[in-house]
Amino acid sequence: MSDVNDVLRLTVDGSRPLSAGAVHDLGVLCDRAEDRSAGGVVTLRVSGAPAPGWAEGLGVGLVTKWERALRRLERLPAATVALATGDCGGLALDTFLAADIRIATPDARFLVPFDGEATWPGMAAFRLVRLAGAARVRRAVLFGHPIGAAEALELRIADELADDPDAAAAVAEQLIEDLSGKELAIRRQLLFDAAVTGFEEALGRHLAACDRALRRNAAEEAA
């Protein structure tokens, strides 16, 4: 993990099985992002897919901690950028899908881990369906069919394909570095809620956010 020019960076290796260390590293990243006074940017490099048998000895308690850490990542008061290269499954896929901006190289492939009998039923399946729709990711979720980079772009699983992911990340980081982390988190939550709430329920939340924005603007003008 590194922190350069107000950008927190973490590399996630999807070829490694889930471990307490992986949960700890992601938790520390979230701690540092939440502790910063400004929003800043979090950049995640992901690659690698687990080998057969990766879940042997894994307990649901550790899986729960990992999923909670991913949910923290998804709600950070900071913009998150994920860069995917090569095959991405397991921890790499989970982390990639939880980011705000998702960039992939043309050789990237996204894989739901498959153990010979069934795919892994983690929250990557949930996020894939939320992003692309159940029908369009059915083969990936049910049968472990790889999603190539071009298909991922078409399905909006990836936002951009880039031969030079570092350059693409630098552009994204520059665009979002001045965003308010708290305000971004509110907009992100409104976006999530829109898929599962009715108009009347959503209206109150949006009006509250509008009121907050107007009060903030008025305070800035009075300062």
Q: What is the CA radius of gyration of the chain?
A: 18
pLDDT at residue 4, rounded to an integer:
53
CB < 8 Å & 24+ apart, contacts of 112-120: 112/140, 112/141, 112/144, 113/49, 113/50, 113/54, 113/55, 113/89, 113/144, 114/143, 114/144, 115/52, 115/53, 115/55, 116/52, 119/143, 119/144, 120/55, 120/90
pLDDT at residue 2, rounded to an integer:
58
Report residue 213 as tokens: 């924005």
* Residue 47, beta-bridge partner list: 13, 85
What does the pLDDT profile of the chain (223 residues) look like in tens digits? 655 556 899 999 999 999 999 999 999 999 999 987 656 899 999 999 999 888 888 899 999 999 999 999 999 999 999 999 999 999 999 999 999 999 999 999 999 998 878 999 999 999 999 999 999 999 999 999 999 999 999 999 999 999 998 899 888 888 887 777 788 888 888 888 888 889 988 888 888 888 888 888 788 777 6
Q: How crowded is residue 109: how many other Cβ atoms within 10 Å of its Cβ?
A: 17
Report residue 145 as tokens: 């069919």
**On the CB side of 79, how many CA atoms lie within 13 Å of its CA?**
19
Residue 60 sits at the vertex; the CA angle it makes with 96 and 26, to the nearest 5 degrees, is 35
Report residue 130 as tokens: 């939320």
pLDDT at residue 36, rounded to an integer:
79
Integer distance in angstroms from the first to the last C-alpha of the chain?
38
Give pTM, 2 decimals: 0.88
Say how far apart CA 214 and CA 211 lie, in whole Å.
5
pLDDT at residue 186, rounded to an integer:
84
* Residue 119, beta-bridge partner list: 114
pLDDT at residue 131, rounded to an integer:
93
Report residue 197 as tokens: 């709430």
Say how far apart CA 95 and CA 97 lie, in whole Å.
6
Sign of the dihedral through C-alpha 172, 47, 99, 150: positive
